A and B are shown apart, each in its own frame.
Chain A
Amino acid sequence: MPVTVEIEKEKWTGRVREVTLGATSEDGGTRRRVVTVGGETTLPFLSFEGEMPNPPAVALEIQDRYPEDWSDLLKEAWGDVLRDPAAWARRAEEYGADLIALKLQSAHTEGDNTDAAHAASTAEAVLAATGLPLIVYGPGQVEKDNEVLLAVAEAAKGERVVLGNCEEKNYRTIVAAALAHDHLVITKSPIDVNLAKQLNILVTDMRLDLDRVLVDPTTGALGYGLEYCYSVMERLRVAALSGDSMTQQPLICTVGEEAWRAKEAKVNEGVPDAWGDWESRSLNWEVITATTMLESGADILVLRHPESVKLVKKTIASLMAH
């Protein structure tokens, strides 16, 4: 007996906002090209029922201080550029990154405790070295973040850089810097839909347009809380497509930082043979964390290893092909 199966489509009413990172000379910046993310009208890659106008983008993370605590595998992969953020950014661009994510680690008070002027000159050097749009993170300490991100915002005026992270306890200075100098921000909240929404409301109250906001829902690496992050992202995306305005932001995931903190990626001594070859395992740890985030709604993935970029970008291209 003939059976006719009709494709089951959801009638989504919402849409993820499009956010454009970087500015070319036409718009007052010096980026060679801009990167636009978001705009989805369906769940990730479900081309049969909606649009995904922009492929997810891949950023490579660089730091302004030699990353002592990074896995030896990462140090070997990058070599000497680890001591020069401008050279590192240039290399990251060569490796196929869409974006550069600069972490101003040297400003950390327990490290070199570098100042605002140092941060500004680092950002300028990196902007001069690459034509890609830039994401800039402070060292993750409230006062230092405010100090260095404000300096970067001034120095990079017109470039539409992304300033991270705005958190519930510290967002005013960073949002004000973004407003004053026409930049974007990342709002970061701990794996919770309502906290993510609440922070976006606070940021909106300061009159920052939501087309200048990326949301970092907090990433969990494979084996280290990935499932929490996965489900919060799915819930955020379902809410966004159902029309909940405060959840309609593109999502950014710090995959490299989390995956390379996992013992499976970081070390090779005293681990079970059943974990397999260290280098393959480590790369798989980063790649699988990344691709699983893609399935649940990531728009930007921040990675650390050049090889991961290749495979993740190929995965994105395959998923966008239909």
Chain B
Amino acid sequence: MGLSGLQIYKLLPRTNCKECGFPTCLAFAMKLAAKQAELSACPYVSEESKAALAAASTPPIRLVAVGSGDRKVEVGNETVLFRHEKTFFHQPGIFIRLKDTLPLPDFEAAVAEIRDYSVERVGIELFVDGLAVENASGDAETFAKYVAAVHAKTDRPLVLITSDPASMAAALTETNGSAPLIYAATPDTWEEMSKLAVEHKAPLAVRVDGDLSALAELVEQVKSAGVDDIVLDPGARELSSSLLALTQLRRLALKKNLRALGYPIVTFPGEGADSPKEELVQAAQQVAKYAGIIIMDHFDPASIYPLLTLRLNIYTDPQKPIQVSPGLYEISDPQPDSPLLVTTNFSLTYFSVAGEVEASGKPTWLLVADSEGMSVLTAWAAGKFDAEKIAKSVKQFNVTDKISHKKITIPGLVSTISGELEEELPDWDILVGPREAMDIAAYLKTWH
């Protein structure tokens, strides 16, 4: 956790020598707390203080990258237990596990399908982060061949799963320095696995089932072998045990500042599930409750899309309303006689409405009023989307310069304001549109 300026001040020499460039040690401490100065600017700070300050500035949960380049997944570095306390920063990576016992053409087809999966939601592209390859065959050469095959098909991050260090070594030679997650070191294999992690500059997962003390001990061992980037597997596979273990790990890292367990966590929701649907339920729990890497056994768009949507929801910063810029938007190249709809600038509202208008194929003007990022009903209740605001937006964005008619369609949810809007826009026809965005296409067909 970060220290306050006063806490830092106590660690400084308190001589006010000014050699750091600041008038007093306190002023310097305040700059350090605000991360606007470097401790190295002080020539007299003690080694003890340096160590204390370094420890305090290390995040309680280490940021670990899996993969390299633009596609790498960074997880960890979380600072709160509840998103309302601040926000969750690094959304969990979602990986799909494939085994090296699949026929190679099927394996390659699955890799391509997962790689090419993409879906847009509220203007954001959602996709599966990476692939996990498991050495189910038990054969090192086969494993290396399958890892090479997936590496040839995609630059997405990989997780390599085998308990055999020899297989792991063989597979790592095929990954070309792309820093896959090595899964996993156990109390029996940690020395060899740690060596591989150091040699390939790859993050290392450590696994001990059902014993956090033993897990912490194993972390200390791999750290002593030179591994910094560590991912934890506490081995909890059931819905209940996973919730308890992941909650404990997050609490111990944040509240006890327990460095040995201050790492992101990897989960396998399919292993404790009786069906793909139950796997999804567990994965959803782990999105909300503290996983860093989620490795799924099933890839089905009907499940992945809800899971990616949930991740987007939970990792939305609660401090910022998500909004688009107010203005007059052109959809499908509208003409002066095209319909004019008005809505709010809450991004979900905007994207729902714009998406439907676009899908309808009807060229349309979409006037987006500044509702301070609130949805239609909320904004109306708060007085941010009333007749006055709509009339003001019509003028502000010079709507009459662009369109030849004077007809404006308001959302059905605020039909009650049509009277007031007639007063605000005296020579306009106020039309009432549908209550739900999904009915807009049908509405536009009848618009004239």
Chain A residues at the B interface, C-beta cutoff of 8 Å: 1-5, 7-8, 45-48, 190, 222-228, 230-231, 234-235, 238, 261, 263-264, 266-267, 270, 272-278, 280-281, 283-285, 287-288, 291-292, 295-296, 311, 314-315, 318-322
Complex contact B239–A222 (CB within 8 A):
no
Closest residue of chain A to B318, judged by CB?
A231
Closest residue of chain B to A232, judged by CB?
B84
Interface Cβ pair total, 8 Å cutoff: 157
Closest residue of chain B to A262, judged by CB?
B438
Encode contact with A along B207-222: 1 for CB under 8 Å, 0 otherwise: 0000011011100100
B residues near A48, Cβ cutoff 8 Å: 244, 248
B residues near A4, Cβ cutoff 8 Å: 213
Closest residue of chain B to A277, judged by CB?
B302
- Which applies to chain B's interface (DSSP): helix, strand, loop or mixed? helix
A residues near B277, Cβ cutoff 8 Å: 283-284, 287, 311
- Which applies to chain A's interface (DSSP): helix, strand, loop or mixed? helix
Instruction: Given the known inter-chain contacts A234-B82, A274-B118, A292-B288, please indicate yes or no for A226 contacting B313, CB distance below 8 A.
Output: yes
Complex contact A288–B310 (CB within 8 A):
yes
Q: How far is the CA of A295 from the CA of B309 in the complex (A)?
A: 17
Q: How far is the CA of A262 from the CA of B237 in the complex (A)?
A: 31
Q: Is B368 an interface residue (CB 8 A)?
A: no
Q: How far is the CA of A7 from the CA of B316 in the complex (A)?
A: 30
Chain B min CB distance to A314 (Å): 7
Closest residue of chain B to A283, judged by CB?
B277
Complex contact B314–A230 (CB within 8 A):
yes
Chain B min CB distance to A143 (Å): 15
Instruction: Given the known inter-chain contacts A3-B260, A277-B302, please indicate yes or no for A266 contacting B438, CB distance below 8 A.
Output: yes
Q: How far is the CA of A314 from the CA of B306 in the complex (A)?
A: 20
- Best-surrounded residue of B251, B306, B312, B378 (most CB of chain A within 10 A): B306
Encode contact with A along B190-233: 1 for CB under 8 Å, 0 otherwise: 00000000000000000000001101110010000000000000
Complex contact A321–B240 (CB within 8 A):
yes
B residues near A281, Cβ cutoff 8 Å: 301-302, 305-306
Q: Is B359 an interface residue (CB 8 A)?
A: yes
Complex contact A2–B84 (CB within 8 A):
no
Chain A min CB distance to B129 (Å): 16
Complex contact A291–B240 (CB within 8 A):
no
Q: How far is the CA of A287 from the CA of B275 in the complex (A)?
A: 14
Q: How far is the CA of A285 from the CA of B83 in the complex (A)?
A: 22
Q: How far is the CA of A127 from the CA of B29 in the complex (A)?
A: 70
B residues near A287, Cβ cutoff 8 Å: 277, 280-281
Chain B min CB distance to A24 (Å): 31
